[in-house]
Amino acid sequence: MPLFDSLRKSELPRVLEFFAGGGFAIKGLEDSFHCVFANDNDPLKSRTYTANFGPTHFDTSDVWTLDANHIPNAELAWASFPCQDISIAGSRKGLNAPRSSAFWGFWRLIEAMADEKRAPQTLALENVAGLISSRRGRDFTTVIETLADAGYRVGAMVIDAALFSPQSRKRLFIIAHKGRIPEGLEANHPDPTYHPQNLQKIVAQMDPTCRMAWTWWQLPHPQERSIQLEDILDRKVPENAWRSPEAAQKLIAQMSPAHRAKFDAALKQKKWRAGAVYRRIRVEDGNKIQRAEVRYDGLAGCLRTPAGGSSKQLLMITHNGEARLRALNAREAARLMGLDDTYILPEKETPALQVIGDAVSVPVVNWLSENLLKKLVLRPSRS
């Protein structure tokens, strides 16, 4: 690392990154924070992280086996704890299910650091928006109660990556802080852009202790997104990337009349068009039926890990009256997450998509970092 970069990083507030995955959070934080510790025990994600950021501050232990004594001091801790048991695509068993119980593994480390009076003053927790409704709000309320009981002021926001990049991806961000909150970071009322009705309803039902600790974080609204899905797609791909004409026709046949009308309108246009397609099971007249749903609003659907055919994001490309079908490739998926093409992905498509599908949107993290997190933390006092 050049000396100038090293000196610059030494002046930045420090961050601990738990459940780091491929390092998408630190990509969003790196302009304003210096990562001094990162952890993930998934071998694929660990290899991807260290390929991009180096191994010096990375620990591959399970979060339950980490020793707080080996974790350095930092002003911020970021935790994107596993969401499979909470998300719409998961089993919805809640916060105490095996994967999501990793949250408690993280929390025991924060408690141990607090016992030594060195816990991070600011915490950022990221998860699927489904955490708000998980077990009728009990899981979300449990997290808020845990943070409030530890002396943190706490608030949450739902931010859609579509505000910044061409992907519909809503995620929940819980931000907790100990100490003085600078002026201008709290609002008297919720903002519908970041505080949806279901969040407002759960907060209204909280007990007085949680309500006393709760705050509505105030964020500015970003400028209107200018980049569209078609802007990040490869116009030229290997011929073997294309699905057969029969596969394309089968998908078209699975469209409902409304989605078929969208496709037909795009097909009539001479210009190059790309529609994002997901296959979903819908109930029609009491029967379950697989439907192909296409969108031409400049957005891709929410990227998922490649667990099966329905989880793959497909692209219906139309040009001069011809329609061709292919899957979104890993590099395109990385661009949807806000990464540039210098980011090192696993060589094979499926592992690369696994790293990407579990990750957080880089521009969203950067927006949070620049407009809230860096304003909350104090300048580091080395110890």
Is residue 190 pLDDT above 50, yes or no? yes
Lowest mean pLDDT among 27-31, 61-65, 98-102, 181-185: 98-102
Is residue 134 pLDDT above 90, yes or no? no
In the block, residue with structure tokens 């926001």: 157
Q: Are 311 and 283 in contact (CB under 8 A)?
A: no
pLDDT at res. 25: 98
- Amino acid at residue number 182: P
Is residue 290 pLDDT above 80, yes or no? yes
Average pLDDT over residues 156-169: 97
pLDDT at res. 308: 56
**Residue 147 in tokens:** 């943070």
Spell out the domain ranges in the chain. Answer: 3-223+359-376, 235-328
pLDDT bin (cut points 50, 70, 90) of residue 8 is low
Is residue 96 pLDDT above 80, yes or no? no
Q: Are 252 and 260 in contact (CB under 8 A)?
A: yes
pLDDT at res. 76: 98
Q: Is residue 35 annotated as a catalytic residue, yes or no? A: no
pLDDT at res. 310: 56
Percent of the chain scored above 90 by pLDDT? 81
**Residue 92 in tokens:** 């919805």
* Distance of alpha carbon 207 from alpha carbon 281, whole angstroms: 39
More confident residue, 207 or 311: 207
Torsion of the alpha carbons at 226, 165, 173 and 382, rounded to the nearest 10: -90
pLDDT at res. 336: 98
pLDDT at res. 103: 87
pLDDT in tens, 31-75: 999 999 999 999 999 999 999 999 999 999 999 999 999 999 999
Q: Are strands 273-284 and 287-295 parallel, antiparallel or unpaired?
A: antiparallel
Q: Are 247 and 303 in contact (CB under 8 A)?
A: no
Out of 35, 83, 210, 302, pick the active-site residue.
83
Is residue 172 pLDDT above 90, yes or no? yes
Torsion of the alpha carbons at 305, 309, 312 and 318, rounded to the nearest 10: 180
Mean pLDDT of the chain: 91
At the topology level, CATH places domain 3-223+359-376 in Rossmann fold (3.40.50)
* Distance of alpha carbon 23 from alpha carbon 32, whole angstroms: 15
pLDDT in tens, 71-94: 999 999 999 988 544 434 444 354
> Any long-range contacts for 133-136 (C-beta under 8 Å, 24+ apart)?
133/198, 134/86, 134/92, 134/94, 134/95, 135/94, 135/95
pLDDT at res. 6: 58
Average pLDDT over residues 12-36: 98
Average pLDDT over residues 312-327: 94
Is residue 268 pLDDT above 50, yes or no? yes
